[in-house]
């Protein structure tokens, strides 16, 4: 299991440890602010407009994307020992173990998100592809 030293990440997003809670557009804004990820890239990965209204509810698809984003980024943050800059750089860069795709671009399904986490676990254990 991934180290759980990313409790701060979940708390900063206003979520319980493990990412449990009701997700809103406010969480997207917090995620962008905390991670320092480019706003346009995060909005694209989450299939939301940069001009979303705070009062608008997330669709089921957007909520699922946000859940996968949080899960994958939390694992990335653990890999980088809490270094948000390093985690954000890795998350937005091509990764050999992911077929030279960027993790942020692979959040479209639970399976692809699990691939990201599997690659992270392999890296943590010194297994490089």
Q: For residue 1, tell me if it sits in a domain.
A: no
Look at residue 89 in the predicted model and tell me its pLDDT.
97
Asked if residue 129 is part of any domain, the answer here is: no
Residue 120 domain flag: yes
Mean pLDDT within 85-92: 97
Give the predicted TM-score (pTM) of the model.
0.86
Whether residue 28 has pLDDT greater than 50? yes
Band of residue 3 on the pLDDT scale cut at 50, 70, 90 = very low
Range of the domain at 12: 7-124
Statement: residue 97 has pLDDT above 90: yes
Number of domains in the chain: 1
CB atoms within 10 A of CB 29: 14
């Amino acid at each position: 299991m991934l180290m759980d030293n990313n409790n701060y990440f979940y708390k900063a997003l206003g979520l319980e440890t493990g990412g449990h809670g009701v997700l809103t557009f406010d969480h997207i804004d917090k995620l962008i602010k905390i991670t320092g990820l480019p706003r346009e890239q995060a909005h694209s990965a989450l299939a939301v407009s940069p001009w979303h209204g705070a009062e608008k509810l997330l669709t089921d698809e957007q909520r699922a994307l946000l859940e996968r984003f949080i899960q994958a980024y939390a694992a990335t943050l653990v890999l980088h020992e809490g270094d948000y800059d390093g985690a954000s750089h890795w998350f937005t860069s091509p990764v050999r173990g992911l077929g030279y795709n960027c993790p942020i671009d692979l959040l479209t399904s639970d399976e692809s998100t699990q691939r990201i986490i599997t690659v992270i676990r392999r890296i943590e254990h010194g297994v490089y592809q």
